[in-house]
Amino acid sequence: MEELIEKLKLQIIEQLNLEDMAPEDIDPEEPLFGEGLGLDSIDALELIVLLEKEYGIKIQNPKDGQKIFFSLSTMAKYIKENQK
């Protein structure tokens, strides 16, 4: 899990072009959206593509993203559970 979270940090920074961010700046429990990292609905769509591209997981309804991408750890958990 730890390893997956570290990998995700790097992937998110790259996918979302978070130039100013270092992996250690992202707390795995902190909310990614709104007050936390400040991501928005466009980023959520980017993350959906990231899941498909890197982990082969397809999310059909963008609304599901809200829960899955709540934090790094919920995202990692979802990947673990759904990766084939």
Partner 1 sequence: MIRVVVTGIGIISSIGNNLQETFNSLIEKRSGIGNIDILETIHKHEFLVGEIKLTHNELIELAGVGKKSTWTRTSLLGIIAAKQAISDSGIDVNKNVALVSASTVGGMDRSELYYKDLLTEAVHHKYIDTHHVGNSTEMIAEQCGLNGLITTISTACSSSLNSVMFGTRLIKNGHTKIAVVGGTDALSKFTLNGFNTLMILDKEHCRPFDNTRMGLNLGEGSAYLVLEEMESAIASGKKIYAEVSGYANANDAHHQTASSENGEGPFLAMQNALDVAGILPSNIDYINAHGTGTDNNDLTEGKAIIRLFGENIPPFSSTKAFTGHALGAAGVIESVIAILSLNYKVAFPNINFENAIKEIGIVPVSDVTKLNKVEHVLTNSFGFGGNDSSVVFSAIKNNAVNETQPLIVKSKSPVYIIGAGCVSPQNTLVKDTFLEDIAETESRFLEILKPDYRDFIDPKLLRRMSKIVRMGIVSSTVALQDADIGKPDAILTGTGMGCQVDTEKFLNSMIENNEGLLTPTSFIQSTHNTVGGSIALGQKNHNYNLTYVHRTFSFESALLDSMLLLEEKKAKNILLGGFDEITEESWLIKTKIDYYKTNPVSNPKVLVDNQKGAQAGEGSSFFVLSNNITENSYAKVIGVDMFFKPTNNRVIENRILSFIKNHSLLVSDIDLVIQGNNGDSEFDSIYNHIENRMFANNIITYYKHLCGEYDTSTSFAMWVASRILKENKIPEILLRKGSQKREIRNVLIYNQFRNINHSLILLAKP
Q: Mark the segment that binds partner 1 (CB under 8 A) among 2-10, 22-30, 39-47, 66-74.
A: 39-47
Q: Supply the DSSP symbol for 24.
A: G
DSSP string, 31-77: BSBTTSS-B-HHHHHHHHHHHHHHH------GGGHHHHTSBHHHHHH
Q: Is 2 in the site for partner 1 (CB under 8 A)?
A: no
Determine, following the binding rule CB under 8 A, whether residue 22 of this chain makes contact with partner 1. Answer: no
Q: What is the sign, positive or negative, of the torsion defined by CA atoms of 45, 69, 34, 5?
A: negative
Q: Does 42 bind partner 1 (CB under 8 A)?
A: yes
Single out the segment in contact with partner 1 by CB under 8 A; choices: 2-10, 11-19, 25-33, 70-78. Answer: 11-19
Q: Does 18 bind partner 1 (CB under 8 A)?
A: yes
